[in-house]
Amino acid sequence: MKDASPARFECTCGTVAGEVTSASRKTGTHVECFCVDCRAAQIYLGQPDPHPNGVHIFQISPEMVHFSQGTEHLRILRLGPKGLMRWYADCCKAPLFNTLPKPTIPFAGLIVDRLQDPARIGKVVTQSFLPGKDGARRHKGALTMTMQVLKRAVAARMSGKWRDTPFFDIETGAPTAPVHILDKRERQALFRS
């Protein structure tokens, strides 16, 4: 779709809300991720198990994200000490975004279920960690995804827009919400499900 207007997102109960500027196929990448971590995060937060499908994520640059309400309800889940930061609303446990642990590589992945009008971002262009019959995981469209992520990250770094992130305090590099890192016992229980 060619709609360059802002796209509204919100948590399930509507307490946390905001918009993504210019959400379209040209400004982000629609990915369906089948990795065990994306599935585990959904389950941990009490969401329906996406299996056998993947989790739909719209990969964008963080400066495109603007919260209009409810930021005091933002929390971060990390499945391990080195995992992605998975931002969610503590009011209803709705997963919202994924980010890298530091703002210096500008990346945000919006959980597509949170968009009021998901059709505007177009079809999936990349499928990651697709399960194969032999148990191996493969990717479709990975080069496209990688090039688009790099293009957005380089543009944000060169323009200085990487500093315009709602996810981190740029001066300290600290996230703007409390972080919970699953301990080994929690991870083991989760990955058995």
**Omega into 103 within 30° of 0, i.e. cis?**
no
Does the pLDDT at position 97 exceed 70? yes
Alpha-carbon gap, residue 121 to 127, rounded angstroms: 15
What letter does residue 142 receive in the DSSP assignment? H
pLDDT digits (tens, 9 = 90+) for 47-90: 999 989 999 999 999 999 999 999 999 999 999 999 899 999 99
Distance of CA 96 to the CA centre of its chain: 6
- The pLDDT of residue 1: 43
- The pLDDT of residue 3: 58
Alpha-carbon gap, residue 15 to 2, rounded angstroms: 29
- The pLDDT of residue 193: 60
- 7-192 topology per CATH: 2.170.150
- The pLDDT of residue 139: 86
Tokens of 7: 């796209």
* Burial environment of residue 87 by CB neighbours within 10 A (0 to 12, 13 to 18, 19 or more): buried
Which of 127, 146, 126 has the alpha carbon at shortest distance from 52? 127
Beta bridge partners of 32: 56, 127
Confidence of residue 143 (pLDDT cuts 50, 70, 90): confident
Q: Which residue has the tokens 């148990």?
A: 135
Does the pLDDT at position 135 exceed 90? no
Pairing of strands 94-99, 85-89: antiparallel
* Domain layout of the chain by residue ranges: 7-192
SS3 category, 59: strand
Average pLDDT taken over every residue of the chain: 92
